[in-house]
Structure 1
């Protein structure tokens, strides 16, 4: 793989200082509330949707963090907050120790190339009027990565890195399959040599066989370039394969976060247990006895009016009075695992 794509840029620009000993990225009690009705984000009548409410996460260099949970739990909103496509209502977003939560668009410019997004839909995320070469070269030109005379060479290098034919730079997006388009999106994200890539359900629009190819590509990029990933997906098997750590979200909050093997092996939060029990088990397909599944009762509450105390209590079989009156903090349950539950315990052995 051509590591030349991460060579220094040709013009001097503002660099983000590297600070040893601190996380690459931190979210501290970050919230994102949207007002329904007229009057702007938090003004005027209507209700307030608490899409993300007090989320704290940590990402270190080269690490992969998976975000999982039901649709509408706030995963994609969290991704857009990290990329600063949204300005949070409250909380800190620290990149290399600097708070970028409320920076202006001009102040954010040097951070834009450090944090990149791979979007869910490879069909609508590429401009159909531009060639692949123009799409990738725009990122190079905006951040002054290479001289204009070398743009085509760099575009072809990037296409080769993601497994596409370098000679197809002059084709349009409609001439590629869904998997190839997602590779183009990955090449566009790589063009600016980011330290963090946020992959927002990058596999959901792809066939299963293509999903495996894209995951293997992302793993290769992580290993060879040391890129840290925030990986959002519904497929718990892929998350377990790709991610070092996993955070489980429910109704705008992180309810459990920890080391991949420990969280999958011994989840302490009831919701995490129910979520993992619903995942397909290949062992059963191969003839093993099926394990008991946890079936949740009731619907997910509205983020406009979430339950008091623990947000999962209305569907939890362990809920007691304290769950309705006191919000459980995210606290350590093992050396590497954190759970927001008044009664955390691993599932009973079967």
Structure 2
């Protein structure tokens, strides 16, 4: 899937007695990225930066305001319901809240088998046999076919959501904060399940999350989003070890000392010896940057670089010109950054902590 210039503005209504448009919430304001077949792209950023809106745009649950979405060389930006029907089964979504994303009046069998019925799919052996197979795939008891969602825990409900997404054998799954509503002890189980599914079935993922530790070990590439814009994108090693955008530096430094390194080892499986050694070498020596205040309003974002009101390196040029998302000198191929005055490619501690207030 390829996205070019993707925009989504939500109109703000005002006035009395006639309701008229007085502004717009610029939730997504010009995104360019590609999700390659079989890969996992992580999308990270603060709450309100437009991550979930981006996911819903790609799933065509929302209508884009502008831009282009191409899936398998086909433009689906303005495709209607009939035109989307042949590919709807290939793009599935896992929602954030496992409690509200399942119909409490339907059994697990109906929930998982529903997509197959809607799309007229009759797998060999019948739909019930396929649903029971999917329940086993996601680590649930096939005998729970006739149970209702309220009889399951949060982690089990999210597994049901994963099984529902897999029912149509999709090529792309958009996972919108799939573990953020779960207890920490359960998060690793769901993440490991998704990693196994991606590895065994070759499904591409857009993994939306704010947990940097989880994203680091699930996604091959990572895109950092701020106020409707992607400010940096690259492979996970480049983003986590050699970030260039000040906002990426701030996000990484916000993780408490040791958490990014220790929690991963405890919660996620298959951490290689080399990865563990690299993380232990970096532990305790990372830089400290603290951003206070809220992100500026998306109805009236700052001119030029949107991060400039919270950036310690901002200059007049940052207010006058919007930095393009380009490859900087010293960056690896595919590592793009949008900054006029990029940081050094390191997360090592600096001379003193940086504390910035929103301006």
Shared topology, TM-score over 0.5? yes
Q: Is 2:108–2:149's contact at 8 Å kept on the other side of the alignment? A: yes
Name the CA shift for 1:253/1:236 in 2 (closer, same or farther; >3 Å). Answer: same
3-state SS of 1:274 partner: helix
Q: Is 2:108–2:148's contact at 8 Å kept on the other side of the alignment? A: yes
Q: Which residue of structure 2 aligns with residue 338 of structure 1?
A: 336
Corresponding position: 1:165 with 2:141: yes
Q: Is 1:331–1:338's contact at 8 Å kept on the other side of the alignment? A: yes
C-alpha RMSD of matched pairs (Å): 1.9
Match of 2:317 among 303, 315, 322: 322
Q: What TM-score comes out, normalization by structure 1 length? A: 0.88
Deviation at 1:296, TM superposition (A): 2.0
Corresponding position: 1:27 with 2:10: no
Q: Is 1:231–1:239's contact at 8 Å kept on the other side of the alignment? A: yes
Distance 1:295 1:136 in 2: 44
3-state SS of 1:295 partner: strand
Q: Which residue of structure 2 aligns with residue 228 of structure 1?
A: 204
Deviation at 1:289, TM superposition (A): 4.0
Deviation at 1:157, TM superposition (A): 0.6
Distance 1:53 1:268 in 2: 22
Q: Which residue of structure 2 aligns with residue 22 of structure 1?
A: none
Corresponding position: 1:63 with 2:39: yes
Q: Is 2:257–2:284's contact at 8 Å kept on the other side of the alignment? A: no
Deviation at 1:38, TM superposition (A): 6.2
Name the CA shift for 1:282/1:157 in 2 (closer, same or farther; >3 Å). Answer: same
Q: What TM-score comes out, normalization by structure 2 length? A: 0.86
Deviation at 1:29, TM superposition (A): 0.8
Name the CA shift for 1:38/1:155 in 2 (closer, same or farther; >3 Å). Answer: farther
Distance 2:123 2:321 in 1: 58
Match of 1:82 among 55, 58, 62: 58
Deviation at 1:298, TM superposition (A): 4.2
Deviation at 1:214, TM superposition (A): 0.6
Q: Which residue of structure 2 aligns with residue 116 of structure 1?
A: 92
Corresponding position: 1:145 with 2:140: no
Name the CA shift for 1:276/1:114 in 2 (closer, same or farther; >3 Å). Answer: same
Distance 1:162 1:289 in 2: 37
Q: How many residues align?
A: 323
Deviation at 1:207, TM superposition (A): 1.1
Q: Which residue of structure 2 aligns with residue 262 of structure 1?
A: 238
Q: Which residue of structure 2 aligns with residue 293 of structure 1?
A: 288
Distance 1:163 1:66 in 2: 24
**Offset from partner CA, 1:3-34 (integer Å, 9 cap, x none):** xxxxxxxxxxxxxxxxxxxxxx0110100001
Q: Is 2:123–2:130's contact at 8 Å kept on the other side of the alignment? A: no
Structure 2 residue ranges without an equivalent (≥5): 263-279, 350-359
Distance 1:289 1:198 in 2: 34
**Offset from partner CA, 1:163-220 (integer Å, 9 cap, x none):** 1000110000000110000000000000001000000001011111211011111011
Q: Which residue of structure 2 aligns with residue 18 of structure 1?
A: none
Alignment of 1:200-239 (within 5 A): 200-239=176-215
Name the CA shift for 1:124/1:289 in 2 (closer, same or farther; >3 Å). Answer: closer
Corresponding position: 1:91 with 2:67: yes
Distance 2:338 2:73 in 1: 25
Distance 1:340 1:265 in 2: 17
Structure 1 residue ranges without an equivalent (≥5): 1-24
3-state SS of 1:169 partner: helix
Q: Is 1:48–1:304's contact at 8 Å kept on the other side of the alignment? A: yes
Q: Is 2:231–2:325's contact at 8 Å kept on the other side of the alignment? A: yes
Q: Is 1:273–1:347's contact at 8 Å kept on the other side of the alignment? A: no
Deviation at 1:145, TM superposition (A): 2.2
Deviation at 1:45, TM superposition (A): 2.3
Q: Which residue of structure 2 aligns with residue 313 of structure 1?
A: 308
Q: Tell me whether 113-122 or 147-156 shows the greater mean CA deviation.
A: 147-156
